Homo-oligomer: A and B are copies of this chain.
């Protein structure tokens, strides 16, 4: 009856889409509604207010596009920039690569700052470019907060400091797809002009909503940006915000209710606790990787990602075989190595609505797979390392004390 049925739960540890909590699945289990009724704008209004909290912004304006992260990127760029505009953009993995490709295809003049895959954005080069750019030809600095392909998190506060240091007016555009709601993210404090995420990542919803949040400066830029845009145009949304109907075209009713439930869960846990949970799960994962004698693809601790860990396998092992085996034998979904690191790394996503025992089940599975593919791991050693840390750090569940 199901051409890929396997007993028990699928263990979903790709770095997105992530597990949807039952509360969200329930909230979305509904018929369509007329989005022009008074109910939908009323709900939308509170969602727009609440969504700002996950960006840590009070001055930003959010847009909830029926699209994916790729569309959210496009919205961020086309609303703030004009063809030919110079952007500085950091290339450090598959997703930053794709964003740069998009920037180029959207006809911007992309000044690519490349790092070795596994390293973070080279901010020294950014500094030198900004220093040299006294004419302010750089219109935007584009950075992926968390490069999902390599498990590298960039230091956004440092980017802001450099911009400030050179008093450079460039817009600060941030892909927060695999960071927002999971890593520390402070849109206002860090002076981010456009931040964006996708529903299927740390928000733990189905795919289909790209949330873009614009600073007042970004909104101002949108008035003169010449990039052609219609579907992704903020201005259409702003018009409907003013009227109070909110939607220039049909939203997914189900995703709106799902977002309501997802935000309620995040607020109930507390955003800071959510972030602390991600820190904890990530640390546990890295301890297991270390115990297995494997290397983290991320080269320095300062860049370690708390939402995804890319694990480097020895040269005699094909990391794709690890992922395949997870699927075929253990009902475990791991992330493939992409592009330059294909075959060399596999990825463990540890973001979204996830807890420690789920992670430990995954780590136990990875150990068995490693053994399956001929890597001489001592079974249990990674779980032991992760457990030792977790047993000391997991807090009591507040609602159950």
A interface list, Cβ under 8 A from B: 1-12, 14, 16-23, 25-39, 42, 66-71, 74, 83, 101-102, 105-107, 198, 200, 206-208, 227-233, 248-255, 264-265, 268-269, 274, 277, 327-333, 335-336, 353-362, 364-365, 367-368, 371-372, 378-381, 383-385, 387-388, 390-391, 394-397, 399-401
* Docked-complex contact A106 and B74, CB < 8 angstroms: no
Given the known interface contacts A18-B32, A269-B7, A365-B357, the answer about A250 and B384 at a Cβ–Cβ threshold of 8 Å is no
Determine the chain B residues whose CB is within 8 A of the CB of A371 once the complex forms: 391
* Docked-complex contact B66 and A329, CB < 8 angstroms: no
Given the known interface contacts A37-B333, A327-B37, A357-B11, the answer about A17 and B32 at a Cβ–Cβ threshold of 8 Å is yes
Chain B residue at minimum C-beta to C-beta distance from A323: B36
Determine the chain B residues whose CB is within 8 A of the CB of A4 once the complex forms: 37-39, 42, 397, 399-400
**Docked pose: A266 CA to B241 CA in angstroms:** 35
Contact of A208 among B208, B330, B364 (CB under 8 A): B208
**Docked pose: A83 CA to B105 CA in angstroms:** 15
- A320 nearest CB across to chain B (Å): 11
A-B contact pairs, 27 of them (CB 8 A): A2-B23, A4-B37, A5-B23, A5-B399, A6-B397, A7-B274, A8-B357, A12-B31, A17-B250, A22-B29, A22-B30, A26-B26, A71-B231, A83-B228, A101-B230, A105-B233, A207-B251, A208-B208, A327-B400, A328-B397, A330-B394, A356-B365, A360-B364, A364-B364, A379-B391, A380-B387, A380-B388
Other than the given A25-B30, A379-B387, 6 more pairs (CB < 8 A) read A5-B399, A26-B26, A68-B249, A69-B250, A105-B230, A367-B387
Chain B residue at minimum C-beta to C-beta distance from A267: B1
Chain B residue at minimum C-beta to C-beta distance from A336: B36
Determine the chain B residues whose CB is within 8 A of the CB of A231 once the complex forms: 67-68, 70-71, 74, 232
**Docked pose: A106 CA to B229 CA in angstroms:** 7
* Docked-complex contact A397 and B360, CB < 8 angstroms: no
Determine the chain B residues whose CB is within 8 A of the CB of A395 once the complex forms: 329
Contact of A358 among B9, B19, B69, B250 (CB under 8 A): B9
Chain B residue at minimum C-beta to C-beta distance from A368: B391
Determine the chain B residues whose CB is within 8 A of the CB of A26 once the complex forms: 26-27, 29-30
